[in-house]
Structure 1
Amino acid sequence: MAGLGGLAMLDEVMTAAAAAGGTAVVEAAGSDLWAWFRTRCARLVGRGDPGREGEALERLDRTAVALAAGADEGEREWQREVQARLWRGEFAALLESVAAAERDELVAGLDALRARTGGQESGGAVSGNTFRGPVAFQTGAHSTQDIHFGTAG
């Protein structure tokens, strides 16, 4: 895998695609989209080679395990950052290793994976519920909110 230094050799579009791919892996892991995502991502990384595809599936599975293993929110957040960085490096190395025509296809594939994962990590839907009293919903990955109870004034 390429380190962060490998990103310096990529142009902005490829750097953004590699970063988006890393984020997509982290967002998809543990979601309802994971089975579909891991297969598509492994195909993209494998580029038609069953051996490379199998290796990618193993790495994706290790990522999912690592992301699920955090004992508290701080540890889970740290693991999300680590795994996103690792996959960003993986995608950057892949983009640097292929010819320009294949690189364009990979960039499009990474962008498609990221577009498909947008908002999946939180589920995003509330249906068939009855609420009595004040209710607050928070959606999106790593959202922050401030809640104040009491009366205004």
Structure 2
Amino acid sequence: MAITKLKGDEVVTSGNLPEVGVAAPNFELIAGDLSRKTLENYKGQRLILNIFPSVDTSTCATSVRTFNQKAAQLDNTKVLCISRDLPFAQKRFCGAEGIENVEMLSDYAKGSFGQDYGLEIENGALYALHARAIVVVDENGIVQHTELVPDIVDEPNYEAALNA
């Protein structure tokens, strides 16, 4: 388990982020068109996994907007924004905000992504949602960078993720 915070209060997660240098755990997430996406769908591309509790919170929305802006400049890199929001809510948000350069994926159906990546919140107000984190995966599926944001209300370190 790992420890993060929510407005200063301790939050416990289901495990630890994957270690740098190991193969990223596979996942099965739901896209906006309700298709299933796995890590295999992105083979040969660099991935930035922007993971957060809900797109309906200000910090989560800001992270999606920021990565949307920066992702347009990246070669062979996809930014996957992952939460437990329903795909319909994710799609509505992207449509209203003009988000086109990131891919929204939902963990609502199978729900194992948070456990597999050690990010499912086990206590407090955001119980069962994902903690805010970044995981960067290279073209070969190897984890290159991770960040569990110290307080869920804070934004991730965008530059560290982009430089990884």
Output the TM-score relative to the length of structure 2: 0.27
Structure with the bigger percentage of strand: 2
Between structure 1 and structure 2, the one with the greater Rg is: 1
Structure with the bigger percentage of helix: 1
